[in-house]
Amino acid sequence: AAGAVGLALGATGGALVQSAVSDSGTAGAHGGAGALSSLGATRIAFDGDHQAGITNPLQAKGHVIAFDLAPGAGRKEAAALLRRWSQTARRLMAGEAAPTADTGIALDAGPSSLTVTFGFGHSFFDRTGLTDRRPTALDPLPDFSGDRLDAQRSNGDLWVQIGADDGLVAFHALRSLQKDAGEAARVRWQMNGFNRTPGATGAPMTARNLMGQIDGTGNPKPAQPDFDKRIFVPAVGPGPAEHAWMGNGSYAVVRRIRMLLDDWDKQSTAAQEQVIGRTKATGAPLTGGSETTPMDLAAFGADGKPVIPSNAHARISAPEQNGGAAMLRRPFSFHDGIGADGTPDAGLLFICWQADPLRGFVPVQRKLDRGDALSAFIRHESSGLYAVPPGPRAGEYVGQRLLE
Ligand code: HEM
C-alpha cells in the first residue's frame, strides 16, 4: 500500500531523521515545556542530495505559495532571499526558532515533520538575467482542452511548498518565510491543503482524497531500481553544462484541481469505481486482489467489455499505457468554503514530481485530457511548473549553484 510506501519513502529516502528535538542538542523552539510526542519530535533533514518534501510521507497540513520578485529586484536580491529562506527553513525544520523575531506560533510543538521546498518558475530566469541557464524542461506546459486556468493563481517566479503534521508549525513556517521575503518578493498566490493526520488510522495506509478514493497506490516506489531516474535529474550530465545546477533536482507540476463533488456524490459506488478502475473501499483493481495487486488491463468480462473500462482513470494514467511515463504524486486536499456557484470549492492540490515533465506529467495529462472518465467530475483551475534545485550541502543555500 502506498501508505506503507509513504513510510518507506521516509525510511529509504535518507532524509528522515527520527529523533526528538531535545536529543539533537539544539535549544528547540518548543520551549522545553515537556517531552514531545513522536509526532511532534519527528524531524526531517534540510540538507541532503535532494530537497526535503519530495519523497517524505505526506504531511497532515500543507501550504503552497508562489512569489514574484518585486519590481527592481534581480539576481542579487534573489540570492539574498534564498539565503535568508534557507537559513530560516534549516532552523525551523530542526525545531529551532526562526533566525529573526520568531513569532512564537510553533512554541511547544517540535518540528512535526516540517519540510520546506523551494522552486524556480520560468519567469524567474528572465527576471534575474539567467535566461541562458534556464533548462528546457521548464518550457511552459502545453494547453489542455479541459483547462480552466486562472492566470493570477498560476505560475510565479518562485515557489515554496510547506508541509508539517501540525497546522501551527506549518503556519509558523509560512509566516516566517513571508516575512523574510521583505521588499524582495511579493506573494502571487497561496493555497492551503491537508491530508490525513498520521496515527488517525489503526495502521499506516494510503491516504484518501475528497472523492473518497484511495489515492497514491500506483506511485513509483523508492525500492524500484529506476525510481531515482524517474524522479530526479541525473547528478552528472547528459545535459548542457549551464544546466548542471539542476543535478539531483526535480521538476514539480502543481495543479489546483477542483472536484465537482455534488455531481460526484450523486453517482453510485459502482459507477464511481468504473470511473477509476479500482474499488472504493480497498483500492483493489476491479480485476481483483488487494490494493497492491497489479491491474489486469487485458481482462474482459462476460459482457465482452474490459473489466477495467477503457476510459478508467487508473488505466489511462498507468505507465505501461504511456511509454513508461511516470511521476511521484504527492498532493494535498483543499477546501476553501463554498464557491460562487454554491458548490464546495474543494479538490486536490495535485503536486507531482519527475525528472522531466515531458516524460511524466505532460504525456499522461495529454491522454487523460482526451478520454478520462474522471474529467466530467474535475476542473483544472490553476497550473505551475517549477525547477526544484537539489538539496543544499551543509552551510549552502538552496539554489546557490545557480545564483552565486
Ligand atoms: C491513479 C485519482 C488527477 C495521474 C489514480 C488513482 C486515483 C486517482 C484514485 C488510483 C490509485 C492510485 O494509483 O493512486 C485522481 C484524482 C485526480 C487525479 C481524484 C484529480 C482530482 C491526476 C492527474 C494525473 C494523474 C492530473 C497526471 C497527469 C495518475 C497516475 C496514476 C493515477 C500516474 C497511477 C496509475 C498507475 O500507475 O496505475 N488517480 N487523479 N492523476 N493518477 Fe490520478
Instruction: Give the separation between CA 224 and CA 381, rounded to whole angstroms.
Output: 33
* 215 is known as an active-site residue: yes
- For 154, residues 6+ apart whose C-beta sits below 8 A from its C-beta are 189, 382, 383, 384
The set of cell numbers assigned to 41 is 519530535
Average pLDDT over the chain, rounded to an integer: 92
Among 291, 293, 313, 375, name the best residue to mutate to test ligand 1's pocket (greatest count of ligand atoms within 8 A of Cβ). Answer: 313
Given a cut of 80, whether residue 157 has pLDDT beyond it is yes
Mean pLDDT of 305-334: 97
CB 256 within 8 Å of CB 382: yes
- Which is catalytic among the residues 68, 108, 157, 215? 215
328-329 and 344-354 beta bridge pairing: antiparallel
Locus of grid cell 525500492: 223
Q: Say what the pLDDT of residue 5 is.
A: 34
Hey, CA dihedral for 202, 206, 210, 213, is it positive or negative? Answer: negative
Question: How would you label 331-350 residue by residue, b for 16+ Cβ within 10 Å and e otherwise?
Answer: bbbbeeeeeeeeebbbbbbb
Residue range 261-289, pLDDT digits in tens:
999 999 999 999 999 999 999 999 999 99
Given a cut of 50, whether residue 27 has pLDDT beyond it is no
Share of residues in the chain with pLDDT > 90 (%):
89
Given a cut of 70, whether residue 2 has pLDDT beyond it is no
- DSSP calls for 261-272: HHHHHTS-HHHH
- Using DSSP's 3-state secondary structure scheme, residue 293 falls into coil
Ligand 1 closest atom vs CA 214: 9
The one-letter amino acid code at 370 reads R
| Choice among 36-40, 185-189, 376-380 with the minimum mean pLDDT | 36-40
- Considering only CA atoms, which residue is closest to atom 29 of ligand 1? 317
Flag whether the ipTM exceeds 0.95. yes
Q: Around Cβ 133, how many Cβ atoms within 10 Å?
A: 18
The CB of 377 under 6 Å from ligand 1? The reply is no
Residue range 190-232, pLDDT digits in tens:
999 999 999 999 999 999 999 999 999 999 999 999 999 999 9
The CB of 164 under 6 Å from ligand 1? The reply is no
Instruction: Give the separation between CA 17 and CA 321, rounded to whole angstroms.
Output: 37
Q: Say what the pLDDT of residue 298 is.
A: 98
DSSP state of 357: G
